[in-house]
Chain A
Amino acid sequence: MTEIVDEQISEMHLCEECAREKSVHMEQQFGLADLLAGLTDFGKQVKETEKVNLKCTSCSMTYDDFRKFGRLGCSECYSSFRSHLSTLLKKIHGSNHHLGKAPMRVPQGQKQIIENLHDLKIRLMKAIEMEDFEEAARLRDKIHEIEKDESNETG
């Protein structure tokens, strides 16, 4: 295995058992926050100026704080850091579309949208499974359209 300490790269050759022990130790050092921080750094180069400006309008948590602690401050952080989180969620879950249930109590009018969207997503999955890519593309565009409308309203 290769280890980098203070820019010194050293290679270690370990037997299986030592390697296992070593890896347990490393897991302890790399907490979830670091993992998340690593993920957020991954694809997107955050500019110095952009870093400072990202702050939740509701709880005043900054995106830098989030990267440090790995926890968001309130539900509004999701709107404030929308584009960054969208990328991050996709990296974590392999998807950034919710396909699960919805609460019983949602604002009037939203219920219909939720059900409609849910239905479209299920049909999209089926279309992909059946390799009906023409239909899948059509459904995908429709989903994007609805989601974009929603983001504009809530975000």
Chain B
Amino acid sequence: MKLDDLINNTGEWLKGIGTYSNIVMSSRIRLARNLSKRAFPNKASKKELGDVLQLVDEAIQKADYFNNALFIRIHEIDNVDKQFLIERHLMSHEHATNPEGKALVVSPEEILSVMINEEDHLRLQVMRSGLNLHESWKIMNGIDDVLSQHLDYAYSINWGYLTACPTNTGTAMRGSVMLHLPALVMTKQINKVLAAIAKLSFASRGFYGEGTQASGNFYQISNQVAMGHSEEDVLQNINGLIRQIIDQEEQARQALLVQNRSMLEDKIFRSFGVLRSAHIISSQETVELLSMVRLGIDLEIVKDVDRKAINELFIMIQPAHLQKLEGKKLTASERDAKRASLIRKNLGGS
């Protein structure tokens, strides 16, 4: 598999399948792991980073999970490719800066990815479509067990997995679920929900990663605490919380349908109309309109386009994706035109 092959497909997590995929975009589990007695990446010399990279690479070669995986050395790729991988949620911004000694491994279908020498020596990620934490954990746990047979992990009996940042120490696991909550936003209940989430020690972030504002009515909810609970317990807690938020969103959607059906339909069809006919469009406007059409599909108001097509557009309309599709660098205004034409093509517009 080559990096350029990725553009022809999108990850499994965008398929719009699995439990509650009307409201839940994707489930993700991340594990941080370090090698024992070796400097963490922020403190490591170039040689030390190289040694870790080689050890991890050897361990990965021995694991079946990584058959046909893509192995990318970050310093060998250009800025558009880096941005492209970030946009696909395969790696972080932090991983793209100071690329020396860093690598990324991506499995087919993009279910599994590993950042090597980011903040920790290994950052493993499993991502699935729909509410699927249980299945994701089974995959992740299996991979982690196999790798731990070939690598000496930094581990303490009292404190669990030792990480560069003490907020991760313990299970070093973060489970997160990406939710699409347009009705809670429209009925102005979202801040109440977010406040409740924060009170329960869970974090919420936007669609486009750490430090981003929620856009397109997407919210990513994840656990904060990594000690005092087993991995399964933490995931079960997230699952319980997510189920409650889903219920609230469902109720808000029903309320909108009952009280404001014609206004809701108008908003959805106008959004669909703009997307299918615009010739110049910004990413911010696109994301807001796509959110409305996605809601329209869930409520069976929009019938001639499927959820997968909309989900994929949230990723494909970003700058690096447009430039990969076009095969060359584009200015901001060229991108706005390219974005509009891509959307028209994918949504059967004029």
Contacts A70-B165, A98-B171, A147-B158: A75 and B34 contacting too (C-beta < 8 A)? Answer: yes
B327 at the interface (CB under 8 A from A): no
Contacts of A106 on B, CB cut-off 8 Å? 155
Q: Quick one: which of A88, A103, A110, A151 contacts B148, CB cutoff 8 A? A: A103
Q: Does A101 contact B (CB under 8 A)?
A: yes
What residues on A are CB-neighbors of B230 within 8 Å?
Answer: 99-101
Size of A's binding interface in residues, CB under 8 A: 40
Contact A89–B165 (Cβ < 8 Å)? no
Residues of A within 8 A of B34 (CB): 75
Residues 18 to 75 of chain A near chain B (Cβ within 8 Å): 32, 36, 58-59, 61, 69-75
Judge whether B154 is part of the interface by a CB distance below 8 angstroms: yes
The B-contacting residues of A in range 77-128, CB under 8 angstroms, are 78, 85, 88-89, 92-106, 110, 113-114, 117
**Min CB gap A98→B, angstroms:** 3
Q: Which of B36-44, B76-84, B98-106, B333-341 contacts A (4 or more CB under 8 A)?
A: B36-44
The answer to whether B164 touches A99, judged by C-beta atoms less than 8 angstroms apart, is no
B165, A93: Cβ atoms closer than 8 Å: no
Known: A94-B228, A100-B173, A154-B156. A105 touches B37 (CB 8 A): no
In contact, B169 and A89 (Cβ under 8 angstroms): yes
A95 to B160, CA, bound (A): 12
**CB pair A114 B148 closer than 8 Å:** no
Near A by CB (< 8 A), chain B positions 101-138 give 119
Q: B244 within 8 Å of A by Cβ?
A: no
Least Cβ–Cβ distance between A34 and chain B, in angstroms: 13
- The answer, among A101, A151, A154, for a CB contact under 8 Å with B171, is A101
- With CB as the reference atom, state the residue of chain B lying closest to A122: B230
Contact of B40 with A97 in the complex, beta carbons under 8 Å = no
A-B interface pairs (CB < 8 A), number? 128
Quote the shortest CB–CB distance from B324 to chain A (angstroms).
Answer: 31
A95 and B228 within 8 A (CB): yes
Q: Which residues of A contact B164 (CB under 8 A)?
A: 71-72
The one of B145, B163, B227 in contact with A96, judged by C-beta atoms closer than 8 angstroms, is B227
Contact A74 B158 (CB under 8 A): no
Asked whether any CB of chain B lies closer than 8 Å to the CB of A150, the reply is yes
Question: Please, what's the 1-or-0 string for A135-155, where 1 marks a CB less than 8 Å from any CB in chain B?
Answer: 000000000000100110010
Which residue in chain B gives the minimum CB-CB distance to A117?
B157
Neighbouring A residues of B151 by C-beta, 8 Å: 105
B residues in contact with A114, CB < 8 Å: 157
**CB < 8 Å neighbour of B157 from A36, A61, A92, A110:** A110
List residues of chain A with CB within 8 A of the CB of B166: 36, 72, 85, 88-89, 92
Bound form: Cα–Cα A105–B154 in Å: 11
List of B residues within 8 angstroms of A104 by Cβ: 145, 148-149
Check if A92 sits within 8 Å of B162, measured CB to CB: no
Please tell me if the beta carbons of B160 and A98 are within 8 angstroms of each other in the complex.
yes
- How far is A150 from B156 in the complex, measured between Cα atoms in Å? 9
A-B contact pairs, 14 of them (CB 8 A): A71-B119, A88-B166, A92-B167, A92-B227, A93-B169, A94-B227, A95-B228, A97-B227, A98-B160, A99-B227, A100-B171, A101-B171, A104-B148, A105-B153
Interface on A for B, CB 8 Å cutoff?
32, 36, 58-59, 61, 69-76, 78, 85, 88-89, 92-106, 110, 113-114, 117, 147, 150-151, 154
